[in-house]
Structure 1
Amino acid sequence: MAQTDPNRVLRLLPLVAGGLGGTLLLLNRVLTPALTESQARSDVMGVILSALLILTGLLWQRVQPIAPESVVLVGDEGFELDDALPDGMKTELAWASHLLLTNTVTRSVVVYHQGKTLLRRGILSPKAEVIPGPILQRVLETGKAVYLVKLSIYPGRVEFDYLPENTQGVICQPMGKDGALILAANAPRSYTRQDEAWVAGIADKLGHSLDEALNTAHT
């Protein structure tokens, strides 16, 4: 479902007013048989005001860009956690995923760590298994995040079949040792720089906790 722009009328108002004012001034000039000096000065002021209105409207189109169109992701809402995780780790994953789903444009969260899918939450794809493709593999190997601002334009989107099929944007954020936090958004170009920094902080915290939990389990 497309998201409408609530400020559309306001954004167009200066353009319409400026264009209408300029048109009326031109008609008045053409239809006036004898132009007085005072009317000439008024016309000049009117032209300047109309031009300023049009310029303001054009600037508003850039300063207040239209919000990206969002869709309703295909899939069923759910919450899946790996039963083998310690209770404390389950709580931390549940808390972090809840924050991401309620405070960002994220609609689906996947936590992948050392070959296992530890969590899926939000709108879920029928396919639960995460098989790292080239993009996720690069994130795991380099430890650098990848933000696919508009998933549909990337040929590598086919590897994200464990996300809703109409996912619009994806963040693959490295998380601990051989792990990644994978987020799916319902609108393209919708994560801000602040969102990305916040996602990185949550992934670092989860990765540290998971690495510690696994090290404790192996000792």
Structure 2
Amino acid sequence: MPEKIKSSENSLLKNLPLIAGILGGTLLMINRLVTPTLLDSQARSDALGIILCAMLLLTSILARQIQPEPPQSVVLEGAEGFELIDDLSDKIKIELAWASHLILTNTVSKSVLIYYQGKTLLRRGILGTEKEIKVGQIVDRVIKTQKPVYLVDLKHYPGKVEFDYFPENIQGLICLPLNDGGVMMVATNIPRSYTKQNENWINGIGAKIALTLKEEYT
């Protein structure tokens, strides 16, 4: 069954209590308005019907709070690519290729960029049109403080214009320091999708890259 049809059916089932509650309440009100003489038995039936409709509405509201809508993925506006600058040793090239492959295949990340000592060492995954990384406020803060930044939902963050070297519609981003000379950045197409396990995995790979770059450039 196509994914869109499944999603539509699931949405209908989830909204069924809400639809039934609203429809039942509306019909009870119409029935009360068009009844010229209200009997005690009908009043009791109406009261019971109102309680049942309210329970259906409450069930629908609670279900939405307990099981919120999962974040929706988007198709990133860019082309897939893999770029390494030429003036790197074979050791560094193998390390960066291995690390970026692990990140893209084991996390929700769709793009990986590595910037070090004023150069863009690697671009891999879905790439934006801007090739060179221009250090903005966020990246500069990560390098200076040596503390990572996690932007889990970029559409609500005005500072995302800084990351124009990624596809324009990236939904989440992690920026990790690489010693005091650069950063590794990963981006995803799904907001609020990086789990703690993802973060730990990416942090571990970033630490390994930082160690290799430090040995190479010392």
Global fold match (TM > 0.5):
yes
Shift of 1:31: 5.0
Give me the whole-angstrom Cα distance separating, in 2, the residues matched to 1:53 and 1:103. 41
Is 1:14 the equivalent of 2:11?
no
- Determine which of 72, 78, 81 is the counterpart of 2:81: 78
Alpha-carbon distance between aligned partners in 2 of 1:166 and 1:25, rounded to the nearest angstrom: 47
Match of 2:206 in 1: 203
How far apart are 1:196 and its partner, in Å?
2.9
| Deviation of 1:17 (Å) | 1.3
- C-alpha deviations, 1:156-203, integer Å up to 9, x for none? 433322222333332212233423111222244443444333322322
2:127 is aligned, of 124, 129, 137, to 124
Q: TM-score, normalised by structure 2?
A: 0.79
AA of the residue aligned to 2:214: D
Deviation at 1:27, TM superposition (A): 3.8
How far apart in 2 are the matches of 1:194 and 1:11? 30
Structure 2: give runs of 5+ residues left out of the alignment.
none
Letter matched to residue 16 of structure 1: I
* Structure 1 pair 130–64 and aligned structure 2 pair: CA distance change class (3 A): same
Mind listing any 5+ residue stretches in structure 1 that lack a counterpart? Answer: none
Shift of 1:51: 1.3
In the alignment, structure 1 residue 100 sits paired with structure 2 residue 103: yes
Q: CA RMSD in A?
A: 2.9
Distance 1:36 1:123 in 2: 69
2:142 paired with 1:139: yes
Q: Distance in 2 between matches of 1:47 and 1:158?
A: 51
* Matching residue of 1:35: 39
Q: Equivalents in 1 of 2:59, 2:106: separation in Å?
A: 33
Offset at 1:78? 0.5
Q: Which amino acid aligns with 1:35?
A: L
Shift of 1:69: 4.1
